[in-house]
Amino acid sequence: MKSKFLILIAVFGICGIIARSQTLSPTVISSSGGFFTSGSAMLSTTVAEMTMVQTFQAGSNFLTQGFQQPEDLSVGIVEIPVVSGDILIYPNPNSGSFTLSFNNNDNLQSSIRIFNLAGQVVMEKQVSQLAGLNTVNFDISAYSQGMYILELASTNAKGEKNISYHKINLVY
């Protein structure tokens, strides 16, 4: 008798949950957005909602294909200028134009190559560096947005080679 009573309570509990879940009214919980309704239409918006969202209504039933982002989230890393020894790349991130600045004690011959993340060389420059401050301007605005790697390879008069790598963020 006790087990039949527990089964009966469980069945009524499940039926109550199912009935309650079918009676929810449309609401939007969002830090940016809202829910608007009139006699013939309704509109629900959130930040970063898909552009193609379809909603079908039949009586009091709604079917929405798509999704809504429940919170206004942003993820990012604030980058400070990269200083490696006497090497400075600015601005970084940039929209395609940036400057490479570096100091030398000797006159050097250098090769500067920019790689995409697939390892392909997208730009190459040969520069003669003088003793003191050197600057080289770049324009890679023709390339797609993303991260690139700058390789600075220098060879001094003794034949010693020095290579350094630096990250460049290209954003539009």
Q: Is residue 114 part of a domain?
A: yes
- CATH number, domain containing residue 155: 2.60.40.2550
> What distances in angstroms separate CA 171 from CA 14, 75, 80, 96, 132, one per listed residue?
52, 15, 15, 8, 31
Q: Amino acid letter at 98?
A: F
Q: Is residue 152 part of a domain?
A: yes
Q: Is residue 74 part of a domain?
A: no
pLDDT band at 85 (very low <50, low <70, confident <90, very high): low
Within 13 Å, how many C-alpha atoms sit on residue 54's CB side? 2
Do residues 167 and 152 make contact, with C-beta atoms less than 8 angstroms apart? Answer: no
pLDDT number for residue 29: 44
Q: Is residue 146 part of a domain?
A: yes
* Closest among 122, 143, 125, 142 to 134, alpha carbons compared: 125
Within 10 Å of residue 118's Cβ, how many Cβ atoms?
A: 6
Do residues 123 and 141 make contact, with C-beta atoms less than 8 angstroms apart? Answer: no
Q: Is residue 128 part of a domain?
A: yes
pLDDT number for residue 138: 93
Q: Is residue 25 part of a domain?
A: no
Compute the residue count for the chain.
Answer: 172
pLDDT tens figures, 32-84: 556 667 777 766 665 554 445 556 677 777 666 555 554 555 566 665 555 45
- pTM, full prediction: 0.51
Q: Is residue 35 part of a domain?
A: no
**How many domains, the chain?**
1
pLDDT number for residue 14: 79
**Average predicted confidence (pLDDT) for the chain:** 75
Q: Which domain holds residue 123?
A: 82-170
Q: Is residue 141 part of a domain?
A: yes
